């Protein structure tokens, strides 16, 4: 079974030649220049699309897919999510992790399980892990001063020893 990873979404048609403008969900937008094949979601089924050309325009990327040569042909792609398979995932630098690896990971501190990561919030300073602790949320900054290690294979995040936690006060 193939695993697919969301990287972008088609936001609009661009020009008359079949290009589409995309909304990127990746922290590594330069990855788009290396794409040859992507998958678009049609009714919960991933269809293979071949990338013919990629252009960068200001802060956006324009993609042209093979056999989509006019604006009217490309209109069907608007709002479609763009995925890659495991072979086309970006190779992350040290101490960077995919959100899909973090979600569902156990969080340990002082050898005690605090809960499971259920979400990752993106903020300008740093990401924040939302940990479910028996229905109560604990917010943990994704910063080196709090994290000792992360094992994506076994889905275990180990926090540095200490007392300070960030509870969501509702």
- The CATH number of whichever domain residue 109 belongs to comes to 2.30.30.240
Q: What is the pLDDT along the chain (170 residues), one digit of tens a residue?
A: 568 888 899 999 999 999 999 998 877 778 888 889 999 988 888 999 999 999 998 888 999 999 999 999 999 999 999 999 888 877 777 777 878 788 899 999 998 999 999 998 888 888 899 999 988 999 999 888 888 999 888 999 999 987 555 544 44
**Same domain, yes or no: 8 and 43:** yes
Q: For residue 63, give the nearest of 54, 71, 73 by alpha carbon.
A: 54
Has residue 93 been placed in a domain?
Answer: no
**Same domain, yes or no: 26 and 82:** yes
Has residue 151 been placed in a domain?
Answer: yes
Please name the residues in contact with 75: beta carbons below 8 A apart, sequence gap of 6 or more. 13
Domain of residue 150, residue span? 99-167
Q: Measure the CA dihedral 32/17/68/54, to 10°.
A: -10
**Same domain, yes or no: 114 and 84:** no
Mark which of 63, 88, 113 sits at the end of a domain: 88
Cα gap 33→23, rounded to integer Å: 15
Number of domains in the chain: 2
Has residue 109 been placed in a domain?
Answer: yes
- Tell me how crowded residue 61 is: count the other CB atoms within 10 A of its CB: 23
Has residue 125 been placed in a domain?
Answer: yes
> Is the alpha carbon torsion for 61, 66, 69, 70 positive or negative?
negative
Has residue 94 been placed in a domain?
Answer: no
Q: For residue 164, give the nearest of 128, 131, 142, 139 by alpha carbon.
A: 139
Whether the pTM exceeds 0.75: the reply is no
**Same domain, yes or no: 59 and 128:** no
């Amino acid at each position: 079974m193939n695993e697919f990873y969301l990287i972008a979404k088609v936001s609009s048609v661009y020009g008359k030649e079949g290009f589409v403008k995309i909304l990127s969900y990746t922290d590594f937008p330069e990855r788009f220049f290396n794409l040859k094949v992507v998958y678009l979601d049609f009714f919960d089924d991933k269809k293979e699309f071949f990338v013919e050309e990629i252009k960068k325009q200001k802060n956006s990327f324009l993609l042209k897919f093979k056999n989509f040569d006019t604006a009217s042909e490309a209109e069907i792609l608007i709002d479609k999510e763009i995925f890659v398979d495991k072979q086309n995932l970006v190779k992350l630098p040290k101490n960077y992790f995919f959100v899909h690896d973090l979600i569902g990971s156990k969080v340990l501190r002082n050898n005690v399980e605090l809960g499971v990561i259920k979400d990752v919030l993106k903020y300008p300073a740093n990401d924040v892990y939302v940990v479910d602790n028996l229905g109560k949320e604990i917010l943990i900054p994704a910063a080196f001063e709090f994290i000792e290690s992360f094992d994506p294979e076994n889905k275990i995040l180990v926090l540095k020893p200490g007392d300070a936690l960030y509870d969501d006060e509702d």
